[in-house]
Amino acid sequence: MTIGTPRLHQQNVELFAKLNQEMKSIQSQVGSGKADLKLSENLHEIAKLSAAEEKIVETNQFMENSKRAATELEFLDVALDRLQNLTVNLQEIAVESGNDMLSTKERERFVNDVERLKKEILDIANMNDSFGNSLFGGVSGEEKPFSIDSKGTVSYVGSALAREVKVSPSLHVRQNFAGNSLFENISSGNTKISVFEVIDDFAESLKNDLNSGNSSNLFSIGNTVDLVFPSSGSESKIEFNLDTGGEKNKISSTIYGNDYSPVVTQINSLTASTGISASIVDGNKIRLQGSVERLHLSDLVVSDYDPSKSFIGVIKDTSSSTVVEKIAENRLQNGTISTKINDIFNTFATARAEVGASSRRAQENETAAQDILLTIEEDVSDIRDADLASLLTQLEFLMTNKEAAQATFTRITSKSLFDFLG
């Protein structure tokens, strides 16, 4: 094959351009300290870099999730701390108001205190965190998961599922609570209670102008008295004690369809020992008569308790229908409200402990994510960092090749046809 001078020149130009490009690439890698990875030569390293970058993105997201969860849990911890303090205040009022000799003004003061605490608890139940998410609304997105109607009844309109965030490939931590589990389904004995219903019950028991569940002397103006019992509905159970100064006599009956004749029968079965007889005047009104000077009714318990209806009206002047006294179940004395308040406090305390545990997990995973990022970045750096010794050797080799090529090209191009003519 014959190679002319133009072709020889073109081949050498291309060779020198290639050598210059390779030398420039190596010089750039030496200057930056970073390897110039090529798909044709470094497929394995490029694949490792791609996987590492994906892991960095995922780990950064987990770290951000952990930080956000920790921030939200701080708001939850503060809110639950306030709820515990308000519950303690409620319990203090329950203890103070257990005095049998409370005046009307004292009752009013306690009622106002209880209603103020209810408002504060409702405000906390509707609190949002710094991101605008409700602390006790679950995943609903409701700004105010608890609503209150004109009668003061509080209802939950949020979600039954708590909001969670993923902080590692296998771990989620809570960001808030579902309000129904924390405020409405609290275990108390064998039943479930609601925070706001307990508070309403407490306030209503204080509003009653009553006598701690014990009547005055029912025979204070005569030996006859009419008692107006609460409507029983289809079925109701009622219990109370009759006290004539000796041993208390317990009356307990199940009433169907407002028929109080079983109560009358029980009272009359004790006439020989109590001196008290009973008769039905009309519907749920029973008349008691006796030869004793003193008669007290105490320890009333009515099933399906309703503070506005579950009481016995006392009419001492049987010629009229004027109710001069109301006898109601004394829930404070029975310890019911106080026990429920204590159960509420324990629920908030347990929830706060859960928040503490979730916060710890979030912080631990944030630290773990930081450690993982450092390890991955070191691996990436090892892949991307140039091998300076190898690069300098390659550069020296290329420069030697270039010099040799230039010398050869110069020798060849310096000869002409006349040098070969004899």
At 147 the pLDDT is 94
Helices (H), ranges, 126-189: 179
**Per-residue pLDDT reduced to its tens digit, 282-318:** 889 999 999 899 999 988 888 876 766 788 999 999 9
**Residue 237 to residue 254: CA distance in whole angstroms:** 4
- Whole-prediction pTM value? 0.60
CB 151 within 8 A of CB 175: no
The CB-based long-range contact list for 247-250 (8 Å cut-off, 24+ gap) reads 248/298, 248/299, 249/273, 249/274
What tens digit of pLDDT does each residue of 147-175 get? Answer: 999 989 999 999 999 998 888 888 889 88
Q: Is 419 exposed, middle or buried (0-12, 13-18, 19+ CB in 10 A)?
A: exposed
- Residue 32, classed as helix, strand or coil, is helix
For residues 121 and 78, give the distance between their C-alpha atoms in angstroms, rounded to a whole number. Answer: 13
Per-position pLDDT tens, the chain of length 422: 455 556 655 665 566 566 566 656 655 655 555 655 555 455 566 566 677 778 888 888 888 989 988 989 999 999 999 999 999 999 999 888 876 566 778 888 999 999 999 999 999 999 998 888 899 999 987 889 999 999 899 999 999 999 988 888 888 898 899 999 999 989 988 889 999 999 998 888 787 654 556 788 999 999 999 999 998 888 999 999 999 988 899 999 999 999 999 999 999 999 999 999 999 998 899 999 998 999 999 888 888 767 667 889 999 999 999 999 888 776 554 457 888 999 999 999 999 999 999 999 988 888 888 888 888 777 666 555 544 455 456 555 556 665 565 566 566 666 555 555 55
Task: Sketch the domain layout of the chain as residue ranges.
Answer: 5-36+387-420, 73-206+336-362, 213-328
Q: Classify domain 73-206+336-362 at the CATH topology level.
A: f41 fragment of flagellin, N-terminal domain (1.20.1330)
Beta bridge partners of 165: 173
User: From CA 50, how far away is CA 54, in angstroms rounded?
Assistant: 6
Residues 186-227: tens digit of each pLDDT: 998 888 999 999 999 888 878 765 455 678 899 999 999 999
